[in-house]
């Protein structure tokens, strides 16, 4: 029973963050705000949804794959967003200085 409640909490939490991130992509004024919104919602939303999937049928050995994917997302998504935002910043500042 407790796993079903935690599953629902994690899945709805993940859907909430995906929804807020999508709304942020639509409503934010500039590229950097949009990148920030997308990075936060993807990282936390995906982690919460995958944790919900881990708890869906109880903890088992096969769930280590989900945990490894969560760790991979936590490491790569913020790094990729930072590099994309940095390249946008460098390309736009070159045009201003010239």
pLDDT of residue 10: 94
pLDDT of residue 97: 44
What are the tokens at 16? Answer: 């909430």
pLDDT of residue 98: 43
Going residue by residue through the chain, which has 98 residues, state the pLDDT in tens, using 9 for 90 and above.
888 899 999 999 999 999 999 998 899 888 888 888 888 888 999 999 999 988 887 778 888 888 899 999 999 998 999 998 888 888 886 655 44
Task: Give me the domain span that covers residue 62.
Answer: 2-97
pLDDT of residue 94: 62
Q: What is the DSSP string of 12-61?
A: HHHHHHHHHHHHHHHH-SSHHHHHHHHHHHHHHHHHHHHHHHHHHT---T
Number of domains comprising the chain: 1
Residue 98, SS3? Answer: coil
């Amino acid at each position: 029973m407790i796993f079903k409640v935690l599953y629902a909490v994690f899945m709805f939490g993940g859907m909430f963050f995906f929804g807020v991130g999508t709304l942020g992509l639509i409503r934010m004024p500039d590229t950097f705000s949009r990148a920030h919104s997308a990075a936060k919602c993807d990282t936390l939303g995906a982690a919460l949804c995958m944790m919900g999937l881990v708890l869906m049928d109880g903890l088992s050995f096969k769930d280590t794959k989900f945990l490894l994917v969560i760790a991979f997302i936590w490491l790569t998504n913020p790094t990729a967003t930072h590099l994309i935002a940095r390249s946008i910043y460098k390309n736009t500042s070159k045009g201003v200085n010239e």
